[in-house]
Structure 1
């Protein structure tokens, strides 16, 4: 079958104007989502979907697909892609100043509909991509560029978690952070420090760690070294459940009772926080919804560049 989708015929079946059909086929804004869904259903039922010159391909670009944190985000993206009759490609290309032009050429050559970025890129790289294709920043974002993003309030989440530890009469509190090159790491540390300051607690810089990657095996010896000294924290806020699990393991090695001797709060509510014993109190972020919302932002892409900040929840378990 060749030719164009007959907008007039579809408009009759969907009981909408041909101009509305045109806006839907060209992914324009100001279209009721339910109307768009009904029109796409009719196109599919008529066997006309192959005539759409976009079989829309969405790329999800991320650093490390093995990172357990990304799994639910990927599932959210995948579900939204299916709901919108698109195709998904997962890409681990490291986009740099040196290869961004080549990368954009690839996107254009393969008629990529849009790209979701699960990492923070420079202002220059983002602007170069955005000149040529729809782009949404997911979880990480660069505040210096007015592009759409979906994320959480890392600062408030970290501050709330730290305040919870303080409410348990913990004064000696440590932080295990990831690389500060990431916005989330800087924001969570800022929330941690502000919670201590506002409660009259001096931060012990020896207990504020910034590890190069979020890996359980890397955290183990560093945490072990802290608990091998005479003076160690009575609580830890960990910016990842992976780090929280490492603290639990080392605490048990040193025969510390949790939460009596040591309280721990992690972040992300991944499977690590649930299966380790004792299970870890953690900040739960809506990972599936983050991924799903990123695709929705691509679908209603416009010059206003919508920003979505989703809420988090502190899940109480056995380490507090």
Structure 2
């Protein structure tokens, strides 16, 4: 008895045709951006491999979008979710939050998560692992990446330029006379962390300041207690540090408490800049200088792009990079 042959996948079509998954997906959906030669080649491979274009996920019948979120510990996400919710409500769409892991995921992980409920689209606040997985998921259901997005992707996303924003923060610290600036960052598996660290380094180089890898901390979760312990140890051992740039307000507020515990006066002895401009930035003392991300607008725009993709199968992918600004308060 012969085994039933496994149906061809999008990856199989890409491998056999020599084109990327993104191009294959566009060709199957007959986007105008695909060249005539590529369309002919892919069409032939589709026919040869008997690829069925019926999606693994059921055709959308509901009006519910899924929002993939990594955790609820970062208050930045609440403002993004508010923007998504308001944009969804304006189009009579419901919003379902799905808690997802960000490590060791693949296309089957997402398909299995989504298959039991009939969603009409996905907004990913959690980082997707790579472009291949993202393209495959987008082929099954409309997807928009929100805040955290992949480098060199053709898929729709809304976010900021994290590198430029980090340069603004670090440039400001150098201009007010700080020379020993530490960085409190997330781990480098996040695109935003890589870009913010690159921006910090570029600003130090521009100011002719020495880059010291030992004053860069990488913290694997945006949690206050975890950051407090690590920043306290850093400030205790490196008394020359006169400024901290933190890649989240949570980390920055931990730095304020670490300084208080060690008797360091903010901003006289130590300047602190955060990132995100969450509600916490104005309820701490001293009030926090921070990079303002347009969190609500990021969520709102992402949902509007998703609505367009749901309504029109061949809607073009869109890349929206919004402006981030520096808000100077009492901590500097």
Q: 1:45 is matched with which residue? A: none
* Selected match of 1:206 from 214, 218, 231: 214
> What does residue 10 of structure 2 align with?
none
Q: Do 1:226 and 1:232's aligned partners in 2 also have CA atoms closer than 8 Å?
A: no
Post-superposition offset of 1:231? 3.3
Instruction: For 1:291 and 1:285, locate their aligned partners in 2 and report how far apart those are by CA, in whole Å.
Output: 11
Taking the aligned partners of 1:219 and 1:171, their CA distance within structure 2 comes to: 22
Q: For 2:254 and 2:289, how far apart are their aligned partners in 1?
A: 14
1:74 matched residue in structure 2: 81
The equivalent residue for 2:162 is 154
Q: Distance in 2 between matches of 1:163 and 1:172?
A: 13
Q: Shift in Å at residue 97 of structure 1?
A: 6.7
- Gapped regions of structure 2 (runs ≥ 5): 1-59
> 126-135 vs 95-104, which deviates more?
95-104
Matches within 5 A, 1:257-268: 257-268=265-276
Gapped regions of structure 1 (runs ≥ 5): 1-52
User: How far off is 1:204 after superposition?
Assistant: 1.5
Task: List 4+ stretches of structure 1 deviating above 4 A.
Answer: 95-99
Report the secondary structure of 2:269's partner residue: coil
Determine the structure 1 residue equivalent to 2:280: 272
Q: CA deviation at 1:95?
A: 6.9
Instruction: Give runs of aligned pairs for residues 82-93 of structure 1, distance below 5 A.
Output: 82-93=89-100
Q: Which moved more, 1:97-106 or 1:202-211?
A: 97-106
What is the CA–CA distance in structure 1 between the aligned matches of 2:178 and 2:102, rounded to whole Å?
Answer: 43
**Partners in 2 of 1:240 and 1:205 — Cα distance?**
19
| The one of 166, 172, 177 aligned to 2:180 | 172
1:303 is displaced (CA, Å) by 4.9
Write the deviation string for residues 117-164 of structure 1: whole angstroms up to 9, x where unpaired: 012212222122111110000011112431000000101000011000
Aligned ranges for residues 237-256 of structure 1 at < 5 Å? 237-256=245-264
Q: CA 1:81/1:220 → structure 2, altered by over 3 Å: closer, same or farther?
A: same
Kindly state the Cα deviation for residue 98 of structure 1 after the two structures are TM-superposed: 6.3
Distance 1:192 1:98, change over 3 A: closer
Pick aligned residue for 1:229 from 204, 226, 237 = 237
Greater mean deviation of Cα atoms: 184-193 or 256-265? 256-265
Aligned counterparts of 1:268 and 1:63: Cα–Cα separation in 2: 17
Checking the alignment, whether the CA contact within 8 Å between 1:96 and 1:125 is kept in structure 2 is: no
> What's the TM-score, normalizing by structure 2?
0.77
Are residues 185 and 201 of structure 1, via their aligned partners in 2, closer, same or farther at CA, if it must alter by over 3 Å?
Answer: same
Tell me which residue corresponds to 1:317.
329
CA root-mean-square deviation: 1.8
Cα separation, partners in 2 of 1:97 and 1:278, compared to 1, 3 Å? closer
